[in-house]
A = this chain, B = another copy of it.
Amino acid sequence: MFYFIGLGLGDAKDITVKGLEVIKRCSRVYLEAYTSILTVGKEALEEYYGRELILADRDMVEQEADEILKGADVSDVAFLVVGDPFGATTHSDLVLRAVNAGIKYRVIHNASILNAVGCCGLQLYNFGETVSIVFWTDSWKPESFYDKIKRNRDMGMHTLCLLDIKVKEQSMENLMRGRKVYEPPRFMTVAQAAEQLLEAVQNRRERAEEPAITEDTVCVGLARVGADDQAIRAGSLREMAECDLGAPLHSMIITGHLHPLEVDMLRLFSSPEGLRGLKMTDSSTYVS
């Protein structure tokens, strides 16, 4: 059997009892290490599970999938993914290869940032499409995330923004010279994401577009959701650009229409003036 096992968010103990039992009996255990991270590293997981883990980077999963699946028809092999195995990335390619090779597979689910963000008090029902915000470069500043947020807000929906992770990236120079030298990993912060969003807001303003988002739009910044030291901050987009939520991973929510109960919850995570931008549109709806 080939097991896809979610590790949840936080640390080693966020695995499910079922997942841990499977890991202990598998012949090989892979750790997918490019779509997300926990607050603890590979060594801490190995110690807690009592098993050696094989680090699976993107190249390995894409190019050596058959190697990963090898023997899973006669013994048990596990593939560990931070969050839920089918959360941010569906590992569809691995599933399809397994099925085609006559290998049975099973999924052991866990929390994903896509549902855990509910802890800030915003109703998951009221979220529209999830967007990704990538690191801008000097020459590449895509704004497609802005249009998706606008579309969600036009319908009153909140938007969860997943922030960029750069792991095992090569500098342009090393890439061109074919040198397998990698840059240190980078994880986009809420402040960086807010900066890019503010720049997009300004660009739209210069093009005289009707503003879908302003500096006062209420946002929520989240860091290390599920960990002991998780941080949640609610406030204006301007405040987000100045906040320091500490170590990765960060995510950001751009709110849509807010129910009074959602506002009450956000106040738990805001400064006294943090939700100043809110205007009541009717007795049951706020918008910023």
Contacts and interface: CB of A to CB of B under 8 A. Distances in A.
Which residue, of A16, A20, A123, A157, has the highest number of chain B Cβ atoms within 10 A?
A: A16
Contact of A109 (B11, B95, B115, B262): B115
A268 B122 CA distance: 35
B8 A16 contact: yes
Contacts of A226: 107-109
A6 interface: yes
> How many copies altogether?
2
Given A16-B8, A20-B17, A265-B96, A114 B110 contact: no
A129 B109 contact: no
Contacts of A128: 128-129
A119 interface: yes
A86 interface: yes
A122 B89 CA distance: 10
B116 A114 contact: no
A277 interface: no
Contact-residue bracket for chain A:
35 or more
Contacts of A130: 124-125, 127
A74 B133 CA distance: 43
A108 B17 CA distance: 14
Contacts of A92: 121, 261-262, 264-265
Contacts of A9: 109
| Chain A contact residues, majority secondary structure | mixed
A14 interface: yes
A150 to B, nearest CB: 12
Contacts of A262: 92
Contact of A17 (B15, B112, B126): B15
Interface in A1-48: 6, 8-11, 13-18, 20-21
A76 interface: no
Contacts of A225: 109
A99 interface: yes
A17 B93 CA distance: 30
Contact of A118 (B86, B93, B119, B268): B86
Contact of A14 (B18, B83, B85): B18
A84 B90 CA distance: 20
12 contacts: A13-B18, A13-B21, A83-B115, A84-B118, A86-B116, A86-B121, A92-B264, A111-B115, A115-B115, A125-B130, A128-B128, A129-B157
